[in-house]
């Protein structure tokens, strides 16, 4: 008998399809939860009126819309994303707000055609850890920037430092074997190692790279008040929480109950607050 290894779809394929759809289906939970990170990164980036910004992997455009207010009508924001449903939602939001200095484009940031050398800043909250070839992708992205331009991005630190994801893994591992994590593999935790991020950016042509930690509690799932509903959010919305289809209802119920129990340790009057650990990465073109 010949052993076959099943080819996993690339992150680009997933985000252009079911991962993008899942992010949109759970948009309030995700955006509510990571809002403090976007706010802090936007503050640190210190945009000026008149600047032209590209928001990579902009999702449904929450950060793009906020940046559009910062750069004013003499500036502009281009949100770029590989998911058609997210670009569609972002466009609808901008139309509703009647913002004229913003546009959204569908495309893979690793190869998308944008005017070269025109942007003052490339920004991203968690939209840049998914490239199959990050060295080539960031070299391409570097080309979008003016010689005086800058990069400002946020990426997750390691899985164990982000218990809102690690607790899911801890629970699932007691029920079925999980694939061994591959360090640096494209995905949420690909950029956990600062030395790897620095190497990618240096290879891509960036200079003066600074990587600083941002560590605060997050309200998991935005405004999910109970550990039970937060466990439901994590199992429904996150990539790590996707259970094998053939799992019995008894095991699914046990997983939900065990995860709820672990989340109870983080329960507050506002919901489940858990520590998070993120890198803020800044660099010059």
Ligand X SMILES: C[S@@+](CC[C@H](N)C(=O)[O-])C[C@H]1O[C@@H](n2cnc3c(N)ncnc32)[C@H](O)[C@@H]1O
For ligand X, the binding residues (CB under 6 A) are: 11-12, 15, 20, 23, 31, 34, 57-59, 62-63, 80-83, 86, 108-110, 125-127, 130-131
Q: Which is nearer to ligand X, 125 or 255 (CB)?
A: 125
Among 131, 137, 133, 132, which residue's Cα sits nearest to residue 151? 137
Closest among 203, 61, 68, 94 to 140, alpha carbons compared: 203
**Could you give the 3-state DSSP secondary structure of residue 282?**
strand
The nearer residue to ligand X, 192 or 255, going by C-beta atoms, is 192
CA atoms within 13 A on the CB side of 49: 3
Closest distance to ligand X from the beta carbon of 36 (Å): 12
Nearer to ligand X, 20 or 271 (CB): 20
Q: Which is nearer to ligand X, 10 or 212 (CB)?
A: 10
In the complex, the smallest distance separating the C-beta of residue 56 from ligand X, rounded to whole angstroms, is 6
How far CA 271 is from CA of 202, 226, 228, 262, in Å, comes to: 41, 6, 10, 14
- As measured in angstroms, the least distance from the Cβ of 170 to ligand X is 22
Considering the complex, what minimum distance in angstroms separates the CB of residue 125 from ligand X? 4
C-beta separation of 88 from 35 below 8 A: no
Q: Provide the token pair at 20.
A: 């993008």
């Amino acid at each position: 008998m010949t052993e076959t290894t099943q080819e996993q779809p690339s992150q680009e394929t997933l985000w252009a399809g079911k991962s993008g759809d899942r992010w949109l289906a759970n948009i309030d939970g995700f955006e509510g939860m990571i809002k403090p990170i976007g706010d802090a990164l936007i503050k640190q980036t210190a945009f000026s009126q008149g600047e032209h910004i590209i928001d990579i992997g902009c999702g449904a455009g929450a950060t793009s819309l906020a940046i559009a207010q910062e750069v004013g009508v003499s500036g502009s924001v281009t949100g770029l994303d590989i998911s058609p449903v997210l670009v569609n939602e972002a466009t609808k939001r901008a139309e509703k707000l009647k913002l004229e200095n913003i546009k959204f484009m569908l495309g893979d940031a690793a190869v998308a055609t944008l005017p070269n050398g025109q942007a003052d800043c490339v920004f991203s909250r968690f939209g840049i850890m998914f490239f199959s070839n990050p060295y080539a992708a960031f070299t391409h992205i570097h080309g979008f920037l003016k010689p005086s331009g800058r990069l400002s991005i946020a990426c997750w630190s390691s899985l164990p430092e982000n218990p809102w994801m690690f607790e899911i893994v801890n629970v699932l591992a007691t029920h079925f074997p999980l694939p061994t994590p591959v360090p640096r593999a494209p995905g949420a935790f690909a950029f956990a190692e600062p030395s790897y991020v620095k190497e990618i950016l240096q290879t891509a042509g960036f200079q003066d790279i600074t990587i600083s930690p941002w560590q605060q509690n997050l309200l998991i799932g935005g405004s999910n008040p109970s550990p039970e509903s937060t466990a439901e959010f994590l199992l429904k919305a996150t990539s790590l929480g996707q259970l094998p289809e053939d799992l019995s209802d008894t095991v699914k119920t046990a997983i939900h109950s065990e995860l709820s129990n672990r989340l109870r340790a983080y329960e507050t009057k506002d919901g489940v607050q858990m520590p998070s650990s993120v890198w803020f990465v800044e660099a010059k073109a």
